[in-house]
Amino acid sequence: MTLPWSHRLPDIAETFPGYGQNLVALATVIAEAESPRRMSIIDLGANVGDSALQILNAVDVDVVCVDGDPYWIPFLRENTARDPRVHVVHAMLLASSEEESKRFTTVRVGGTTRFVPGGEKDMGSTTSAESLRSSLPELAPMRLIKIDTDGFDVRLLPGVARAYADTVPVLFFEFDPPMARETGDPSPERIWGELIALGYKRCVVWDNFGGLLGSWPTVELPDVASVLEQSLEERGYHYWDVAAIHGNDPHNIAIEHAFCP
């Protein structure tokens, strides 16, 4: 895999071997439950393609890699070009049409990108969840959607879930309230009510190093998530990785029990 020298992924993987492996394990569990039916995965905030490559090394699926930062696209294309199961989309996914007119400053640190309000940069190439789906009609059902967009996760999640509602995908996302507020989202905690309204009744939660924290009914998570308002020293990690599981998912119990028996 090709990375810029500034990318911290090798150091993180060496220091925290469990980092990112929860996503790979989740993809594997869902794919095995779906077998022999084929499935697809969306990787929003694909960066250099590291998540996609690890998933594809474990299971035979199609992966749609979406990233809006032009800096990462050459690395993403080079790293995935030899695998026909990867479909690269260079565009910023928008939560609403109103976001098209907004200006952002691009902040790249240690191998990640976040967009903060203000500055002179427009959104560049953009797409909506509905347009993304219609652009790839030939793919197998979308059963896992991973969102890692450094603060935009909560804003994007409901729209993506609605666009693929008929396939009841598992939603894997970062929940980092301070980061979300930095990108201009004043109330990221609303995501729990939105997930409940969309039918997502259970969530498996890990810390950002891949350590399992447990599983809860979604309705309980507003209280449980209050830990993320504590200091880093108090909680011992930065943010949550969350897998939200739909109540109508035919494998919902099996998926949750694979991590929390």
For residue 174, the domain's CATH number is 3.40.50
In a domain, 250, yes or no: no
Asked if residue 133 belongs to a domain, the reply is yes
Counting Cα atoms < 13 Å in the Cβ hemisphere of 74 gives 3
Question: Would you say residue 121 has pLDDT above 60?
Answer: no
pTM of the model: 0.95
Question: Residue 29 belongs to what domain range?
Answer: 9-237
Domain membership of residue 4 (yes or no) is no
Which parts of 112-241 fold into alpha helices (H)?
Answer: 129-135, 153-163, 177-182, 191-197, 221-224, 232-235
* pLDDT exceeds 80 at position 122: no
State in Å, rounded, how far the first CA of the chain is from the last one: 35
Whether residue 251 lies inside any domain: the answer is: no
145-176 residue pLDDT tens: 999 999 999 999 999 999 999 999 999 999 99
Q: Quickly state the pLDDT bin for 95 (edges 50, 70, 90).
A: confident
Asked whether residue 255 is domain-assigned, the answer is no
The pLDDT score that the predictor gives to residue 81 is 96
Spatial distance between the Cα atoms of 186 and 65, rounded to a whole number of angstroms? 28
User: pLDDT value at position 124?
Assistant: 67
**How far is Cα 214 from Cα 176, in angstroms, rounded to an integer?**
17
The pLDDT value given to residue 126: 86
pLDDT of 70 > 70? The answer is yes
Q: How confident is the model at residue 246 (pLDDT cuts 50, 70, 90)?
A: very high
Better-predicted residue by pLDDT, 134 or 95? 134
23-33 pLDDT, tens digit per residue, is 999 999 999 99
Domain annotation covers residue 26: yes
249 within some domain: no
> Is the confidence at residue 191, as pLDDT, over 70?
yes
User: Does some domain include residue 252?
Assistant: no
Domain count, the chain: 1
Share of the chain above pLDDT 90, in %: 84
pLDDT at residue 99, rounded to an integer: 61
pLDDT at 100 over 70: no
CA 130 to CA 113: how far, in whole Å? 24
Share of the chain above pLDDT 70, in %: 95
